[in-house]
Amino acid sequence: MKGNILIIGASGDIGSAIAIKLGNEGYQLLLHYHKNVDNINHIRSQLKSDSILSEIQADLSDNNGIKRLISAVVFKVDHIVFAGGHAYYGLLQETSEKVMDEMLTIHVKAPMLITKHLLPSMIHQKFGNIVVLSSIWGEAGASMEVVYSTVKGAQNSFVKSLAKEIKTSGISINAISPGFIDTKMNQHLSNIEREIIVQDIPLKRAGCPNDIAHSVSFLINQPSNHIHGQIIGVDGAW
């Protein structure tokens, strides 16, 4: 096997595509999920039995869930992929404080605490990659998605800052910034709204989860860690 990868949010459309690709490439996986155990079972059905080291259920929207996940990681972790989280659509003035707290915890606090816990052992072995799935809105911002855009912007700052802090450690950290990807996260859009967005994308198609999975695979497999602290757009030039 090529190494152990912790995938946060492995049960999402993008997370499961990443898990299947990396598992088929010979990595052993630690799969985190919150509720969607069906997708975890689907991942298992697509991989060899020894590809999955553990499955960890935890709600990362509160501190207890984060602690639960950290305590359940008993295997050595060589790479981390943060693919978890969800969008929130609505006017800022109508957004509750509870939603704000949950979004900040899932997208910002959880990645920082998980990284803080696992980073010392990764630095000790002087090897590893951290990949954060951000969003095009973390750079551009989006109306009706102010909270989501804000936490994704914070993820980008986390990547850029930590890259400088661990610059001589042998660990690489980067973010992938997806554009419009055909997942359940965009189910709230009507067919007309989807078509308008697609027509704005120079490639004239929505991205798919495998587009992101290939990019994650590249960052983990690439032979040089000179790609470091980057926010890499996978958006069809949108």
Element (H, E) at 42: helix 37-46
Q: Residue 204: phi, psi to the nearest 5?
A: 60, 35
Which of 119, 109, 160 has the alpha carbon at shortest distance from 139?
160
- C-alpha angle 101-103-109 in degrees, rounded to nearest 5: 80
Q: Which of 27, 33, 88, 148 is catalytic?
A: 148
Across 156-171, b (16+ Cβ under 10 Å) vs e yields bebbbebbeebeebeb
Per-residue CA distances from 80 to 18, 38, 173, 219 (Å): 12, 22, 9, 11
Residue with tokens 């695979």: 217
Mark whether 27 is an active-site residue: no
Distance CA 195, CA 203 (A): 13
Among all residues, which ones are annotated catalytic? 148
